[in-house]
Structure 1
Amino acid sequence: MRRTFCKFLIRILGWKVVGSKVEDKKCIIVGAPHTSLWDFVICWIGYTSMGPSPNVMIRSEFFKFPLGIIIKPMGALPLNREKGSNSLKQIVRTFQQRETMRLAITPEGTRKKTTKWKGGFHAISRLAKVPVYIGYFDFKRKEMRFDIPFETTSNVEEDLERLKKWYHDKGVVGCHPEQFVTGYE
Protein backbone atom coordinates (compact mmCIF):
# COMPACT_ATOMS: atom_id res chain seq x y z
CA MET A 1 0.00 0.00 0.00
CA ARG A 2 2.77 2.45 0.99
CA ARG A 3 4.82 1.59 -2.09
CA THR A 4 1.84 2.09 -4.43
CA PHE A 5 0.98 5.42 -2.80
CA CYS A 6 4.59 6.61 -3.13
CA LYS A 7 4.66 5.61 -6.82
CA PHE A 8 1.52 7.68 -7.29
CA LEU A 9 3.04 10.66 -5.43
CA ILE A 10 6.25 10.56 -7.48
CA ARG A 11 4.23 10.71 -10.70
CA ILE A 12 1.98 13.51 -9.42
CA LEU A 13 5.03 15.54 -8.32
CA GLY A 14 6.60 15.06 -11.76
CA TRP A 15 9.69 13.18 -10.52
CA LYS A 16 11.14 9.97 -11.88
CA VAL A 17 13.27 7.31 -10.24
CA VAL A 18 15.92 5.87 -12.54
CA GLY A 19 18.03 2.81 -11.85
CA SER A 20 16.90 0.08 -9.52
CA LYS A 21 16.52 -0.72 -5.87
CA VAL A 22 19.77 -1.57 -4.07
CA GLU A 23 19.73 -5.33 -3.60
CA ASP A 24 22.28 -5.44 -0.74
CA LYS A 25 20.49 -5.95 2.56
CA LYS A 26 23.05 -3.75 4.29
CA CYS A 27 24.68 -0.73 2.68
CA ILE A 28 25.19 3.00 2.81
CA ILE A 29 23.61 5.26 0.22
CA VAL A 30 25.41 8.59 0.01
CA GLY A 31 22.95 11.20 -1.21
CA ALA A 32 23.53 14.73 -2.45
CA PRO A 33 22.96 17.60 -2.87
CA HIS A 34 21.45 18.21 0.55
CA THR A 35 20.26 21.82 0.35
CA SER A 36 16.70 21.64 1.69
CA LEU A 37 14.44 19.68 4.01
CA TRP A 38 12.53 18.74 0.82
CA ASP A 39 15.49 16.47 -0.07
CA PHE A 40 14.48 14.04 2.66
CA VAL A 41 10.81 14.15 1.72
CA ILE A 42 11.27 13.63 -2.01
CA CYS A 43 13.95 10.97 -1.55
CA TRP A 44 11.93 9.07 1.01
CA ILE A 45 8.96 9.01 -1.36
CA GLY A 46 11.17 8.01 -4.31
CA TYR A 47 13.05 5.26 -2.50
CA THR A 48 9.91 3.91 -0.87
CA SER A 49 8.24 3.74 -4.29
CA MET A 50 10.78 1.01 -5.14
CA GLY A 51 10.32 -1.02 -1.96
CA PRO A 52 11.09 -0.71 1.74
CA SER A 53 11.94 2.71 3.15
CA PRO A 54 15.60 3.62 3.55
CA ASN A 55 17.01 4.18 7.01
CA VAL A 56 18.24 7.46 8.39
CA MET A 57 19.87 8.15 11.74
CA ILE A 58 18.08 10.89 13.69
CA ARG A 59 18.81 12.30 17.14
CA SER A 60 17.10 10.14 19.74
CA GLU A 61 15.27 13.09 21.31
CA PHE A 62 13.11 13.32 18.15
CA PHE A 63 11.62 9.88 18.90
CA LYS A 64 9.44 11.25 21.69
CA PHE A 65 5.70 11.61 21.12
CA PRO A 66 4.27 12.80 18.76
CA LEU A 67 7.12 12.95 16.18
CA GLY A 68 8.38 9.46 17.04
CA ILE A 69 5.21 7.76 15.83
CA ILE A 70 5.73 9.43 12.43
CA ILE A 71 9.47 9.02 11.85
CA LYS A 72 9.97 5.49 13.15
CA PRO A 73 7.77 3.83 10.50
CA MET A 74 9.60 5.95 7.90
CA GLY A 75 12.85 4.07 8.63
CA ALA A 76 14.33 6.52 11.14
CA LEU A 77 16.69 5.00 13.68
CA PRO A 78 17.62 6.74 16.96
CA LEU A 79 21.12 8.14 17.46
CA ASN A 80 22.21 9.23 20.92
CA ARG A 81 24.12 12.51 20.52
CA GLU A 82 24.64 13.22 24.22
CA LYS A 83 28.07 14.20 25.44
CA GLY A 84 30.34 11.17 25.66
CA SER A 85 28.37 9.07 23.20
CA ASN A 86 30.13 7.73 20.13
CA SER A 87 27.96 8.08 17.01
CA LEU A 88 30.24 5.95 14.87
CA LYS A 89 30.15 3.01 17.30
CA GLN A 90 26.37 3.32 17.64
CA ILE A 91 25.81 3.19 13.89
CA VAL A 92 28.16 0.24 13.39
CA ARG A 93 26.45 -1.60 16.26
CA THR A 94 23.05 -0.88 14.66
CA PHE A 95 24.31 -2.38 11.38
CA GLN A 96 25.44 -5.48 13.28
CA GLN A 97 22.12 -5.86 15.09
CA ARG A 98 19.82 -5.47 12.09
CA GLU A 99 19.17 -7.96 9.32
CA THR A 100 18.46 -5.18 6.81
CA MET A 101 19.74 -1.60 6.87
CA ARG A 102 20.12 0.70 3.88
CA LEU A 103 21.44 3.82 5.55
CA ALA A 104 21.04 7.13 3.72
CA ILE A 105 23.74 9.69 4.58
CA THR A 106 24.50 13.13 3.15
CA PRO A 107 28.25 13.82 2.85
CA GLU A 108 27.80 17.58 3.29
CA GLY A 109 26.40 16.96 6.77
CA THR A 110 24.22 20.08 6.58
CA ARG A 111 21.69 21.84 4.38
CA LYS A 112 23.78 25.02 4.56
CA LYS A 113 26.45 25.95 2.03
CA THR A 114 29.67 24.13 2.89
CA THR A 115 32.89 23.26 1.13
CA LYS A 116 33.88 20.62 3.71
CA TRP A 117 32.30 17.25 3.10
CA LYS A 118 32.36 14.68 5.90
CA GLY A 119 33.79 11.19 5.63
CA GLY A 120 31.64 9.53 8.30
CA PHE A 121 30.01 7.28 5.71
CA HIS A 122 33.50 6.07 4.76
CA ALA A 123 34.39 5.06 8.32
CA ILE A 124 31.01 3.41 8.86
CA SER A 125 31.38 1.45 5.62
CA ARG A 126 34.80 0.14 6.54
CA LEU A 127 33.95 -0.72 10.17
CA ALA A 128 30.55 -2.28 9.40
CA LYS A 129 31.92 -3.93 6.24
CA VAL A 130 29.09 -2.66 4.06
CA PRO A 131 29.22 -1.31 0.49
CA VAL A 132 28.59 2.31 -0.49
CA TYR A 133 26.28 3.48 -3.25
CA ILE A 134 25.89 6.94 -4.73
CA GLY A 135 22.45 8.43 -4.72
CA TYR A 136 21.36 11.75 -6.11
CA PHE A 137 18.25 13.89 -6.27
CA ASP A 138 18.34 16.40 -9.11
CA PHE A 139 15.76 19.16 -8.74
CA LYS A 140 16.40 20.54 -12.24
CA ARG A 141 15.67 17.25 -14.04
CA LYS A 142 13.35 16.00 -11.27
CA GLU A 143 15.27 12.75 -11.29
CA MET A 144 16.67 10.58 -8.52
CA ARG A 145 18.77 7.46 -8.35
CA PHE A 146 20.18 5.37 -5.49
CA ASP A 147 22.04 2.38 -6.96
CA ILE A 148 25.42 3.54 -8.31
CA PRO A 149 28.25 1.52 -6.69
CA PHE A 150 31.08 3.58 -5.16
CA GLU A 151 34.29 1.73 -4.36
CA THR A 152 35.99 3.15 -1.30
CA THR A 153 39.74 2.96 -0.76
CA SER A 154 41.84 3.43 2.34
CA ASN A 155 42.23 7.15 1.50
CA VAL A 156 39.21 9.08 2.78
CA GLU A 157 40.27 12.45 1.33
CA GLU A 158 40.83 11.04 -2.16
CA ASP A 159 37.49 9.24 -2.01
CA LEU A 160 35.71 12.44 -0.96
CA GLU A 161 37.32 14.30 -3.86
CA ARG A 162 36.30 11.54 -6.26
CA LEU A 163 32.75 11.73 -4.92
CA LYS A 164 32.61 15.53 -5.25
CA LYS A 165 33.89 15.28 -8.81
CA TRP A 166 31.27 12.64 -9.64
CA TYR A 167 28.45 14.97 -8.50
CA HIS A 168 29.99 17.90 -10.36
CA ASP A 169 30.45 15.92 -13.58
CA LYS A 170 26.89 14.57 -13.35
CA GLY A 171 25.62 18.17 -13.13
CA VAL A 172 23.27 17.43 -10.25
CA VAL A 173 21.26 20.48 -9.13
CA GLY A 174 19.89 20.85 -5.61
CA CYS A 175 16.70 22.52 -4.46
CA HIS A 176 18.87 25.54 -3.57
CA PRO A 177 21.70 25.28 -6.15
CA GLU A 178 23.72 28.12 -4.62
CA GLN A 179 24.24 26.00 -1.50
CA PHE A 180 25.73 22.98 -3.24
CA VAL A 181 29.53 23.25 -3.43
CA THR A 182 31.73 20.51 -4.85
CA GLY A 183 34.83 22.68 -5.33
CA TYR A 184 34.83 22.07 -9.09
CA GLU A 185 32.65 25.06 -9.96
Structure 2
Amino acid sequence: MLVKNQKTIFDHVNLCRYLGKFAAVLFRLTKWSIEGSKPNQTQSVVVAAPHTSNWDFFITLGMALRMEVKVRWLGKQSLFKWGMGPIMRWLGGIPVDRSKSSGLVEQIANYFKTGGQFSLVISPEGTRSKSKQWKTGFYYIAKHANVPINLAFIDHKKRIVGFGSTFQLTESPELDLKNIKEFYTPYL
Protein backbone atom coordinates (compact mmCIF):
# COMPACT_ATOMS: atom_id res chain seq x y z
CA MET A 1 0.00 0.00 0.00
CA LEU A 2 2.60 2.57 1.02
CA VAL A 3 5.21 3.10 -1.65
CA LYS A 4 8.48 4.21 -0.08
CA ASN A 5 9.99 5.68 -3.24
CA GLN A 6 6.83 7.48 -4.36
CA LYS A 7 7.65 11.11 -5.15
CA THR A 8 5.17 13.67 -3.89
CA ILE A 9 4.84 17.38 -4.53
CA PHE A 10 6.84 17.96 -1.34
CA ASP A 11 9.87 16.15 -2.80
CA HIS A 12 10.17 18.82 -5.50
CA VAL A 13 11.64 21.60 -3.35
CA ASN A 14 11.56 24.48 -5.85
CA LEU A 15 8.05 23.64 -7.06
CA CYS A 16 6.91 23.32 -3.45
CA ARG A 17 8.26 26.81 -2.67
CA TYR A 18 6.52 28.35 -5.70
CA LEU A 19 3.26 26.63 -4.84
CA GLY A 20 3.66 27.83 -1.24
CA LYS A 21 3.93 31.41 -2.50
CA PHE A 22 0.92 30.85 -4.75
CA ALA A 23 -1.00 29.48 -1.73
CA ALA A 24 -0.10 32.63 0.23
CA VAL A 25 -1.61 34.78 -2.52
CA LEU A 26 -4.76 32.64 -2.58
CA PHE A 27 -5.07 32.87 1.20
CA ARG A 28 -4.82 36.67 0.99
CA LEU A 29 -7.37 36.89 -1.83
CA THR A 30 -9.85 34.65 -0.02
CA LYS A 31 -9.22 36.37 3.33
CA TRP A 32 -7.93 33.22 5.03
CA SER A 33 -4.96 33.37 7.36
CA ILE A 34 -2.52 30.90 8.87
CA GLU A 35 -1.80 30.80 12.60
CA GLY A 36 0.78 28.94 14.58
CA SER A 37 4.23 27.83 13.58
CA LYS A 38 5.66 24.96 11.61
CA PRO A 39 6.02 21.85 13.78
CA ASN A 40 9.66 21.05 14.43
CA GLN A 41 9.32 17.25 14.34
CA THR A 42 10.59 15.32 11.35
CA GLN A 43 7.75 12.82 11.76
CA SER A 44 4.31 13.17 13.28
CA VAL A 45 0.64 12.43 12.90
CA VAL A 46 -1.29 15.62 12.19
CA VAL A 47 -4.89 15.66 13.35
CA ALA A 48 -6.83 18.01 11.07
CA ALA A 49 -10.27 18.89 12.39
CA PRO A 50 -13.00 19.68 11.90
CA HIS A 51 -13.35 18.23 8.41
CA THR A 52 -16.73 19.40 7.12
CA SER A 53 -16.09 20.44 3.51
CA ASN A 54 -14.21 19.32 0.39
CA TRP A 55 -12.44 22.70 0.60
CA ASP A 56 -10.74 21.58 3.83
CA PHE A 57 -8.37 19.46 1.73
CA PHE A 58 -7.23 22.43 -0.36
CA ILE A 59 -6.99 24.74 2.66
CA THR A 60 -4.87 22.23 4.60
CA LEU A 61 -2.69 21.45 1.57
CA GLY A 62 -2.18 25.18 0.99
CA MET A 63 -1.16 25.62 4.62
CA ALA A 64 1.30 22.72 4.37
CA LEU A 65 2.83 24.15 1.19
CA ARG A 66 3.06 27.62 2.69
CA MET A 67 4.68 26.36 5.89
CA GLU A 68 6.86 23.84 4.01
CA VAL A 69 5.53 20.89 6.00
CA LYS A 70 5.95 17.66 4.04
CA VAL A 71 2.63 15.84 4.40
CA ARG A 72 1.02 12.59 3.35
CA TRP A 73 -2.69 11.90 3.79
CA LEU A 74 -5.13 9.03 3.69
CA GLY A 75 -8.02 9.04 1.24
CA LYS A 76 -10.71 6.60 0.24
CA GLN A 77 -9.66 4.42 -2.66
CA SER A 78 -12.32 5.86 -4.99
CA LEU A 79 -10.47 9.21 -5.01
CA PHE A 80 -7.60 7.48 -6.81
CA LYS A 81 -9.64 6.21 -9.79
CA TRP A 82 -10.40 7.60 -13.23
CA GLY A 83 -6.92 8.89 -13.96
CA MET A 84 -6.78 10.88 -10.72
CA GLY A 85 -4.60 8.31 -8.96
CA PRO A 86 -1.21 9.67 -10.08
CA ILE A 87 -2.25 13.25 -9.24
CA MET A 88 -3.62 12.28 -5.81
CA ARG A 89 -0.46 10.30 -5.01
CA TRP A 90 1.71 13.19 -6.18
CA LEU A 91 -0.23 15.44 -3.78
CA GLY A 92 0.76 13.03 -0.99
CA GLY A 93 -2.28 10.76 -1.01
CA ILE A 94 -2.31 7.18 0.18
CA PRO A 95 -5.36 5.17 -1.00
CA VAL A 96 -7.26 3.23 1.65
CA ASP A 97 -9.74 0.45 0.93
CA ARG A 98 -12.27 0.98 3.70
CA SER A 99 -14.36 -2.06 2.67
CA LYS A 100 -11.96 -4.51 4.33
CA SER A 101 -9.65 -4.65 7.30
CA SER A 102 -6.06 -4.55 6.12
CA GLY A 103 -3.93 -3.79 9.19
CA LEU A 104 -3.64 -0.14 8.17
CA VAL A 105 -2.47 1.07 11.60
CA GLU A 106 0.45 -1.38 11.63
CA GLN A 107 1.36 -0.71 7.98
CA ILE A 108 1.59 3.03 8.51
CA ALA A 109 3.37 2.69 11.85
CA ASN A 110 5.96 0.51 10.10
CA TYR A 111 6.28 3.09 7.33
CA PHE A 112 7.18 5.71 9.95
CA LYS A 113 9.83 3.37 11.34
CA THR A 114 11.62 3.21 7.97
CA GLY A 115 12.60 6.83 8.48
CA GLY A 116 12.17 9.82 6.28
CA GLN A 117 10.65 13.20 6.92
CA PHE A 118 6.88 13.50 6.64
CA SER A 119 3.74 14.11 8.65
CA LEU A 120 0.63 12.03 8.11
CA VAL A 121 -2.54 14.16 8.07
CA ILE A 122 -5.67 12.41 9.30
CA SER A 123 -9.18 13.69 9.84
CA PRO A 124 -10.45 11.92 12.95
CA GLU A 125 -14.07 12.17 11.85
CA GLY A 126 -13.37 9.88 8.90
CA THR A 127 -16.00 11.79 6.91
CA ARG A 128 -16.93 15.34 5.90
CA SER A 129 -20.08 15.25 8.02
CA LYS A 130 -20.14 16.60 11.55
CA SER A 131 -19.53 13.69 13.85
CA LYS A 132 -19.44 13.47 17.62
CA GLN A 133 -17.72 10.10 17.48
CA TRP A 134 -14.13 10.21 16.22
CA LYS A 135 -12.27 7.27 14.77
CA THR A 136 -9.18 6.54 16.85
CA GLY A 137 -6.85 5.15 14.18
CA PHE A 138 -4.79 8.38 14.17
CA TYR A 139 -4.04 7.86 17.86
CA TYR A 140 -2.95 4.24 17.50
CA ILE A 141 -0.82 5.01 14.43
CA ALA A 142 1.05 7.64 16.47
CA LYS A 143 1.28 5.29 19.46
CA HIS A 144 2.64 2.34 17.43
CA ALA A 145 5.04 4.56 15.47
CA ASN A 146 6.14 6.39 18.62
CA VAL A 147 5.61 9.82 17.03
CA PRO A 148 3.88 12.91 18.46
CA ILE A 149 0.54 14.27 17.33
CA ASN A 150 0.37 17.81 15.95
CA LEU A 151 -3.01 19.45 16.33
CA ALA A 152 -4.06 21.36 13.20
CA PHE A 153 -7.35 23.21 12.99
CA ILE A 154 -9.66 24.89 10.54
CA ASP A 155 -11.87 27.68 11.85
CA HIS A 156 -14.37 28.39 9.08
CA LYS A 157 -16.08 31.20 10.99
CA LYS A 158 -12.87 33.21 11.44
CA ARG A 159 -11.29 31.92 8.21
CA ILE A 160 -8.17 30.71 10.01
CA VAL A 161 -6.19 27.52 9.52
CA GLY A 162 -3.16 26.58 11.54
CA PHE A 163 -1.18 24.44 13.89
CA GLY A 164 -1.89 24.40 17.58
CA SER A 165 0.17 22.46 20.04
CA THR A 166 2.15 19.26 19.74
CA PHE A 167 0.71 16.47 21.83
CA GLN A 168 2.96 13.84 23.38
CA LEU A 169 1.13 10.60 24.08
CA THR A 170 0.92 9.15 27.56
CA GLU A 171 0.02 5.68 28.82
CA SER A 172 -3.66 6.64 29.06
CA PRO A 173 -5.43 6.55 25.67
CA GLU A 174 -8.72 7.65 27.23
CA LEU A 175 -7.17 10.74 28.83
CA ASP A 176 -5.11 11.56 25.71
CA LEU A 177 -8.15 11.37 23.44
CA LYS A 178 -10.18 13.48 25.87
CA ASN A 179 -7.45 16.17 25.94
CA ILE A 180 -7.08 16.15 22.16
CA LYS A 181 -10.84 16.56 21.68
CA GLU A 182 -10.88 19.43 24.24
CA PHE A 183 -8.40 21.33 22.05
CA TYR A 184 -10.94 21.23 19.18
CA THR A 185 -13.96 22.35 21.23
CA PRO A 186 -13.82 25.98 19.96
CA TYR A 187 -13.75 24.81 16.33
CA LEU A 188 -16.55 22.23 16.39
Please report the TM-score for the alignment, with normalisation by the length of structure 1.
0.82
Q: Deviations over 1:46-98 (max 9, x none)?
A: 22111144210224454345111321221112335463521112211222235
- Write the distance in 1 (CA, Å) between the matches of 2:19 and 2:80: 21
User: Is the 1:30–1:135 Cα contact (8 Å) retained in structure 2?
Assistant: yes
Against the structure 1 CA distance between its residues 157 and 110, is the aligned structure 2 distance closer, same or farther, given a 3 Å change threshold?
farther
- Write the distance in 1 (CA, Å) between the matches of 2:25 and 2:37: 17
- Write the distance in 1 (CA, Å) between the matches of 2:69 and 2:131: 31
User: Is the 1:117–1:160 Cα contact (8 Å) retained in structure 2?
Assistant: no
Structure 2 partner of 1:144: 161
| Structure 1 gap segments, 5+ residues each | 173-179, 181-185
1:2 to 19, 39, 43: 19
Q: Match for 1:96: what amino acid?
A: K
Report the count of equivalent residues.
171
Structure 2 partner of 1:42: 59
Q: Deviations over 1:4-53 (max 9, x none)?
A: 11111111111111111122111011111111111111111122111144
Residue 49 of structure 1 aligns to a residue in which SS?
helix
- Write the distance in 2 (CA, Å) between the matches of 1:82 and 1:95: 24
Identity among equivalent positions (%) equals 33
User: Is the 2:74–2:94 Cα contact (8 Å) retained in structure 1?
Assistant: yes
The alignment yields a C-alpha RMSD, in angstroms, of 2.0
2:176 to 129, 140, 159: 159
Query: What stretches of structure 1 move > 2 A for 4+ residues in a row?
Result: 58-65, 77-84
Q: Match for 2:173: what amino acid?
A: V
User: Is the 2:75–2:96 Cα contact (8 Å) retained in structure 1?
Assistant: yes
Q: Match for 1:55: what amino acid?
A: R
Against the structure 1 CA distance between its residues 113 and 82, is the aligned structure 2 distance closer, same or farther, given a 3 Å change threshold?
closer
